Each structure stands twice: as structure tokens, then as C-alpha cells.
Amino acid sequence: MCIALIGGMDRLERHYMDEAGRAGVELRVFNTSEVNIGAKLKHADAMLIFTNKVSHRIKKEAMNAARINDIPVFMQHSCGVCTLRSCLNCLLIIHSKNGMKDAQTLEIH
């Protein structure tokens, strides 16, 4: 499963990748402004957006890419490694029960 992480902190990127590896998830991190981010996101199985560390422009582009490519989006306000860990656990549970395509845009608490 490939998850696109939008936002987050540069200094935690290595920790994000390590945590995803432990969960058996391929993680693509986009925590800086990217050119043509929509094209880079279209192959993701799901998107996780850390809303406190992402610009409005990038969030809007990511949401448009998700809508066009039918990718479920999960939003979380905080951006720590523990937050990522709990989000990945939720995503894996959703994926194992009924597949990611049945999920909608939602905020994980």
C-alpha cells in the first residue's frame, strides 16, 4: 500500500519513513512545495494531510488530485510521529476491512 503524506516537518521526514516501514507501508512525503504535485499523487492508495504544516495551495492541489483520481483523503491537524503511527494503524484497519476505495475524506481524531 502506498500512502502520500502531505505536510509535516522536514526534520521528521526520516522518522516518518521509518515508522511507515515498520507498518509495511510505502510512504511518499511531500512536505515542501512541489511542481505538479497532482501528477505525483495519482498513484497513491490514500493521502494523509497534516493540516497544520501545509499551505492552502498545496492542500487544494492535493484535494483536486484526490478527487480526480478517486483517492481517499485523511486529515490530521498535528504532525508528530505518534500521530502518523496512529493514522497508519487506522488506515491499515480500514484497508483490511473494506478496502481504501470505500473510504471518504475524513479527519482522524
Kindly give, in sequence order, each residue whose CB lies less than 8 Å from that of residue 41, ignoring residues fewer than 6 positions away: 4, 30, 47, 62, 65, 66, 69, 71
State the total domains in the chain. Answer: 1
d(CA 55, CA 94) in angstroms, rounded, equals: 27
Range of the domain at 18: 2-107
CATH of the domain at 101: 3.40.50.10330
pTM metric for this prediction: 0.84
CA 9 to chain centre: 13
Whether the Cβ atoms of residue 64 and residue 38 lie closer than 8 Å to each other: yes
* Residue 36: pLDDT band with limits 50, 70, 90: confident
* Residue 99: pLDDT band with limits 50, 70, 90: low
